[in-house]
Structure 1
Amino acid sequence: MGLKYQNILVAIDGSKEADWAFKKAIEVAKRNNSKMLLVHVVDTRSFALIEAYDTVIGDRAEKLAKDMLEGYVKQAVEAGLPNVQYEIEFGSPKIKIPREIAKKHHVDLIICGATGMNAVERFFIGSVSEHIVRYAPCDVLVIRTEKDLS
């Protein structure tokens, strides 16, 4: 691996942290003349029970993800990045991002937002960003939003 990043994956989930990660990723990609892959993983565990009653929930989730990612692609292109793509997957983001998508696209940097979960939620289900850091085959940059310390 060289000193420049060629393929940057940005994990997008609609959170404020993911938005900050995207903004920082634009600057990193511009400095490195990198390709950018925006990824949203629809966490099927979160609607498995609901889907038994509402069979179109997966389609709705995919449509929302597509609209969100296309907006991010537009922003990245307007910021001067010529090579931006997106991918929508279904499953567990903890597994899909570091173990499957990053390898499939030969990613050398993953940029993601820090989790907004509280300590109890992290204890039971764990942090997605923590799993990405632990299992990614490449460098990982975890972005936090600016906190108001006043």
Structure 2
Amino acid sequence: MLQEYNNILVPVDGSYESELAFKKAVAVAKRNDAHLHIVHVVDTRAFQNISSFDTSVVEEVTQNAKKTLEQYAREAKDDGVDKVDYSIEYGAPKTIISKELPTKLNIDLIMIGATGLNAVERLLIGSVTEYVTRMAICDVLVVRTNLNNQKVDPKKGKQKVTK
């Protein structure tokens, strides 16, 4: 018996790897006739050290995220996924992606890119992906390849040759 997924969560952060995860999530949602939830988490911890905190920074980040998420939702619908929504969340990405949203949205699969944009956090306290794979309350698929299951160099957009 094949596993069927009903609610798929795909976090996106603008990285090439999250783009790969999104494309694969669209394909899996389409095959499973699943609901695709696209999320971008604004890490509010990044703003805690700004002494003269300006809400316009958060508003700008939110507007940029909204444009990107609308584009992703449109692309998913154009590819044949009927049930698509998106949200912008605020807080710690690790817990929001691994616990809060899966509980709130009844997620049964998280599809996440192998790495994201925040290299500093990855070095200091571990990646969001690593945390999600350990702590999520549902299945997690870490995406490392394109739709043809080929590792792609994000700088060149071409398949990497491995020996």
CA drift at 1:53? 4.3
Aligned letter for 1:100? Answer: E
> Do 1:51 and 1:57's aligned partners in 2 also have CA atoms closer than 8 Å?
no
Q: Provide runs of 4+ in structure 1 moved above 3 Å.
A: none
Q: Which position in structure 1 is the counterpart of 2:76?
A: 76
Is the counterpart of residue 133 in structure 1 residue 145 in structure 2? no
Whole-angstrom CA distance in 1 between matches of 2:95 and 2:121 = 18
Structure 1 equivalent of residue 63 of structure 2:
63
Report Cα offsets for 1:80-130 as digits up to 9, x if no partner: 011000011001101111110111000000001011565x75341210001
**Contact 1:107–1:138 (CA under 8 A) maintained in structure 2:** yes
Quote the Cα distance in structure 2 between the aligned partners of 1:51 and 1:32: 48
Go from structure 1 to structure 2 and tell me whether the alpha carbon gap of 1:68 and 1:141 turns closer, same or farther (over 3 Å shift).
same
Residue in structure 2 matching 1:149, options 151, 158, 161: 161
Unpaired stretches in structure 1, ≥5 consecutive residues? none
Q: Is 1:85 the equivalent of 2:97? A: no
Q: Percent identity?
A: 48
The equivalent residue for 1:124 is 124
Q: Answer 1 or 2: which has greater helix percent.
A: 1
Taking structure 2 as the reference length, what is the TM-score of the superposition? Answer: 0.84
Task: Give the counterpart letter for 1:18 in structure 2.
Answer: S
Q: For residues 134 and 61 of structure 1, what CA distance do their matches in structure 2 show?
A: 29
Q: Aligned to 1:74, what secondary structure does the other structure show?
A: helix
Partner residue, 1:25? 25
Q: TM-score, normalised by structure 1?
A: 0.90
Tell me, what secondary structure is at the counterpart of 1:13?
Answer: coil
SS in 2 for 1:5: coil
Unmatched 5+ stretches in structure 2: 146-150, 153-159
> Cα RMSD (Å) of the superposition?
1.9
| 1:103-114 correspondence to structure 2 within 5 Å | 103-114=103-114
